[in-house]
Structure 1
Amino acid sequence: ARGAGMIGWQRLVKVELPLSAPIILGGIRLSVVISLATATIGSTVAARTLGEVIIAGLLSNNLAFVLQGGLIVAALAVLIYDGLSAIERYTARRMGQETA
């Protein structure tokens, strides 16, 4: 890119960002899903989160509440993961790269 006469910001926008976009999006995808999964732990310190149902089920020894809360969090995590994966594939195709 330097040999083609590109200056710093041109090289960043036209070469480096397109090449690193799949890796950046993959990191965002994983961090969002991990954040969602760990946000349920906030219910242990009286925060109102998706884990509230799970904690209530654990405290009252109610397996149905635990399963209900766990399935909701798991379904949401899978939907977000798949949605962000689709965005990642779309961006890679648009930039002319293939992902596995």
Structure 2
Amino acid sequence: GLNGTQRLFRVELPLALPLILEGLKVATVINIGTATIGSTVAAKGLGEVIIAGLISDNTAFILQGGLIVGLMAVLIYDAMGLVEAAITRRIGLRAA
């Protein structure tokens, strides 16, 4: 008995929301990883320390940059997971 708009907002979007949020989490982590690669073309960003370490053959720089970027990606992914859980709990769905 629902029209198309009601079905979209009351049924389909609430059911799709966990997958949409998971896609946003994955896209964010991919963007963090891609931002480090931007330093190879002289862009200012997350990978400057890594690229400097590769150029100067300095393992400490490479590890420092890699660990910081990796830790940041994990923390942001986990924080977005908490937001996802709160949103799905609020609309009455269980997180997958």
Q: Which has the higher contact order (CA 8 A, sep 6+)?
A: 2
Instruction: Assess same fold via TM > 0.5.
Output: yes
TM range (shorter): over 0.9
Q: In the alignment, does 2:87 pair up with 1:91?
A: yes
Which structure has more helix as a fraction of its residues? 2
TM-score w.r.t. length of structure 1:
0.90
Show the counterpart of 2:60: 64
Give the secondary-structure state (helix, strand or coil) at the position aligned to 2:75. Answer: helix
Please give the root-mean-square deviation of Cα atoms over the aligned residues, in Å.
1.0
TM-score w.r.t. length of structure 2:
0.93
Greater Rg, structure 1 or structure 2?
1
Aligned mates of 1:37, 1:15 — CA distance in 2: 35
How many residues are matched? Answer: 96
For structure 1, list consecutive stretches of 5 or more residues without a partner in the other structure.
none
> Deviation of residue 99 (structure 1)?
2.1
Aligned mates of 1:12, 1:84 — CA distance in 2: 24
Give the secondary-structure state (helix, strand or coil) at the position aligned to 2:54. Answer: helix
Q: Which runs of 4+ in 1 moved over 4 A?
A: none
Instruction: Give % identity.
Output: 58
For structure 2, list consecutive stretches of 5 or more residues without a partner in the other structure.
none
